[in-house]
A and B are shown apart, each in its own frame.
Chain A
Amino acid sequence: EDKVVQSPLSLVVHEGDTVTLNCSYEVTNFRSLLWYKQEKKAPTFLFMLTSSGIEKKSGRLSSILDKKELFSILNITATQTGDSAVYLCAGTVYSGYALNFGKGTSLLVTP
């Protein structure tokens, strides 16, 4: 069965800290890995990663995929209170159409 595991489940940091969120996945016929941010409403799309070793960046957020080790990280530098959210990781496969979501990492950034 395809499985996506995120760690830690929750995290509390101070503004300005750098955080690293982890996502490991066991999916057969891997196609892509996606990161979403969810703040009390719908998940919003952050990144899609399909190739190993290529970093995707958007402002203070970046993500990289290791296809061999089946692992991805999401980095947030200089955190702000507005980064407080649940971050979801999801995998897709060539043989299906669903996103297989992990349970998410709940991040709280305190002033």
Chain B
Amino acid sequence: NAGVTQTPKFRILKIGQSMTLQCTQDMNHNYMYWYRQDPGMGLKLIYYSVGAGITDKGEVPNGYNVSRSTTEDFPLRLELAAPSQTSVYFCASSPTGNEQFFGPGTRLTVL
């Protein structure tokens, strides 16, 4: 099993550009999550999904969108990138909604 994979590993965006961060898991987990981690801070939940077709907002959803058309994939969309979205983004999945397993992260810089 590859576990949770994320692409790209790094990305630099200009203000106002859009992009999609990809996340795929091969463990057949129903629960999937997107977090962002800023320096010196804990992880903050952006969006989560409890199954295909079901998504909901987390603590910091503004400026982001998600979709969950399959169990495996949970892409995160940034529509109009802003410097405040410079962060490391982690995708995670869980079999139970309890313990979560994280992908390697995407480091995003918005200039």
A-to-B contact residues, CB < 8 Å: 4, 31-32, 34, 41-45, 48, 88, 90, 92, 97-99, 101-104
B33 touches A103 (CB 8 A): no
A42 touches B42 (CB 8 A): no
A88 to B59, CA, bound (A): 18
**Interface residue range, chain B:** 20 to 34
Pairs A-B, 3 closest by C-beta atoms: A101-B42, A42-B102, A98-B45
Closest CB-CB distance, B100 to chain A, in whole Å?
6
What is the interface of chain A mostly: helix, strand, loop, or mixed? Answer: strand
Closest CB-CB distance, A97 to chain B, in whole Å?
5
List the B side residues contacting A104 at CB < 8 Å. Answer: 42
Closest CB-CB distance, A95 to chain B, in whole Å?
11
Chain A residue at minimal CB-CB distance from B99: A48
List the A side residues contacting B42 at CB < 8 Å. Answer: 4, 88, 90, 101-104
